[in-house]
């Protein structure tokens, strides 16, 4: 699809034809399976001040934590026992992170024969290469927005070119590369969402997360409105059409705004969902946007997500 076609599609009054097409492609390429991934948010230390994010360095209203190595590996092991086949390790961007220790953690988790996904921000080629050697299989780094002016205004500490360079290095090193962006950032246009989608294609992303922006009260964007769940689903459907083989995640943000929209996203091209398994003592402090969290029970929570997936007519894996 060309940019003008994507813009026209996203603006259509009746989008059902594109949802049907995306769902057919998803079925052809992925079958009825929905991958359920476990995510451990192992640290909320962050050196960046991204204007949308609740764990940005300027937010003094949260306690900063870093799980110990054994807390991380024990949590991962409990997830493996519950049936998860992928462990996602996510954190704020913290250049003081002990790389060797994280390397040992990855090696320990890999002994369980599961896939390990990292989502720890921008890294140098050498650091990415080191984590690849340690056994990490996948790397998530959303480009957030392809509108370079908007990107600059939201990221006082980063630049778009560096982020894209990092994504290209991720791909070059043989990781499964995960991109993505937020929908509904203040100032974002439909044209720039079309560019976001074309960028995912150009980068040949193996995975993508496309979800609504949710304002956090302790950030510079606290007064902004949330992104549209409908537009997020539309963007995801176009992503499925552009990248038929990609693994597309129903973002947690979509489910927080509306659980029904989360469930319907499985019929709009999505085939992946993530479940937070961060221990209770930490998860309130990993608040990238406001959300209510129930107590974690890794086995029970997994069964609950499986039930939801089955209810949507799909098969959990
Ligand atoms: N530090 C890593 C990075 O920069 O990729 C990973 C952690 S970061 C908190 C994970 C993702 O959270 C970001 O890529 C961003 O898309 C999402 N995020 C942060 N704040 C958000 C908000 N207010 N609404 C929706 N998504 C948000």
Tens digit of each residue's pLDDT (9 = 90 or more) over 46-61: 999 999 999 999 999 9
pLDDT of residue 235: 98
Closest C-alpha residue for ligand 1 atom 8: 92
pLDDT of residue 97: 74
Kindly state the average pLDDT of the residues 232-239.
Answer: 98
Q: Ligand 1 within 6 A of 209 CB?
A: no
Angle ∠(143,149,150) on CA atoms, nearest 5: 60
For residue 208, the surrounding DSSP H or E stretch is: strand 207-212
pLDDT of residue 94: 84
Percent of all residues in the chain with a pLDDT value above 70, rounded to a whole number: 100
Domains of the chain plus CATH, in order, are: 3-316 (3.20.20.70)
Q: Ligand 1 within 6 A of 219 CB?
A: no
pLDDT of residue 62: 94
Question: Whose CA is closest to 35, among 270, 206, 227?
Answer: 270
Closest C-alpha residue for ligand 1 atom 5: 121
Q: What is the distance in A from the centroid of ligand 1 to the CA of 53?
A: 6
Residue 177: both structure tokens together? 């590369």
pLDDT of residue 2: 97
Q: Ligand 1 within 6 A of 213 CB?
A: yes
* Buried-state track 251-269, b at ≥16 Cβ within 10 A, e below 16: bbbbbbbeeebbbbbbbbb
DSSP letters, 239-289, are: HHHH-TTSEEEE-HHHHHH-HHHHHHGGGTT--EEEEE---HHHHTT--SS
Q: Ligand 1 within 6 A of 316 CB?
A: no
From the CA of 209, give the closest atom in ligand 1: 16
169-224 per-position pLDDT tens digit = 999 999 999 999 999 999 999 999 999 999 999 999 999 999 999 999 999 999 99
Kindly state the average pLDDT of the residues 11-29.
Answer: 98
Closest C-alpha residue for ligand 1 atom 13: 142
pLDDT of residue 292: 85
Q: What is the distance in A from the centroid of ligand 1 to the CA of 288?
A: 7
Say if residues 277 and 307 touch (Cβ distance below 8 Å): no
Q: Ligand 1 within 6 A of 254 CB?
A: no
Residue 122: pLDDT above 80? yes
60-83 per-position pLDDT tens digit = 999 999 999 999 999 999 999 999
pLDDT of residue 294: 87
Q: What is the distance in A from the centroid of ligand 1 to the CA of 168?
A: 19
Q: Ligand 1 within 6 A of 142 CB?
A: yes
pLDDT of residue 312: 95
Q: What is the distance in A from the centroid of ligand 1 to the CA of 13?
A: 30
Three-state helix/strand/coil letters over 28-75: HHHCCEEEEEEEEEEECCCCCCCCCCCCCCCCCCCCCCECCHHHHHHH
Kindly state the average pLDDT of the residues 281-289.
Answer: 95
Closest C-alpha residue for ligand 1 atom 2: 121
pLDDT of residue 98: 85
pLDDT of residue 95: 73
From the CA of 119, give the closest atom in ligand 1: 6
């Amino acid at each position: 699809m060309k940019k003008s076609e994507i813009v026209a599609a996203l603006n259509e009054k009746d989008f059902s034809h594109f949802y049907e097409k995306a769902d057919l492609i998803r079925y052809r390429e992925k079958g009825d399976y929905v991958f359920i991934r476990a995510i451990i948010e192992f640290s909320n230390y962050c050196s960046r001040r991204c204007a949308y994010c609740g764990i940005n360095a300027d937010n003094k209203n949260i306690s900063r934590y870093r799980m110990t190595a054994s807390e991380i590996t024990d949590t991962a092991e409990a997830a493996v026992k519950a049936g998860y086949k992928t462990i996602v390790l996510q954190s704020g961007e913290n250049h003081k992170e002990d790389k060797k220790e994280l390397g040992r953690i990855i090696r320990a988790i890999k002994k369980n024969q599961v896939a390990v996904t990292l989502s720890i921000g921008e890294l140098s080629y050498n650091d990415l290469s080191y984590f690849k050697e340690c056994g990490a299989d996948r790397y998530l780094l959303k480009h957030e927005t392809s509108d370079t002016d908007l990107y600059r205004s939201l990221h006082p500490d980063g630049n778009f070119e560096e982020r894209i360079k990092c994504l290209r290095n991720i791909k070059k090193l043989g990781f499964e590369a995960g991109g993505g962006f937020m929908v509904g950032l203040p100032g974002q246009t439909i044209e720039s969402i079309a560019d976001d989608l074309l960028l995912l294609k150009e980068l040949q992303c193996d995975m993508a997360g496309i979800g609504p922006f949710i304002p956090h009260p302790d950030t510079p964007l606290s007064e902004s409105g949330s992104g549209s769940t409908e537009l997020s689903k539309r963007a995801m459907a176009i992503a499925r059409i552009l990248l038929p083989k990609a693994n597309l995640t129903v973002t947690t943000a979509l489910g927080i705004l509306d659980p029904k929209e989360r469930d319907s996203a499985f019929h709009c091209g999505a085939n992946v969902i993530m479940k937070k398994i961060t221990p209770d003592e930490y998860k309130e402090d990993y608040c990238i946007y406001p959300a209510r969290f129930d107590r974690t029970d890794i086995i029970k929570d997994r069964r609950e997500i499986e039930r939801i997936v089955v209810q949507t007519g799909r098969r959990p894996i």
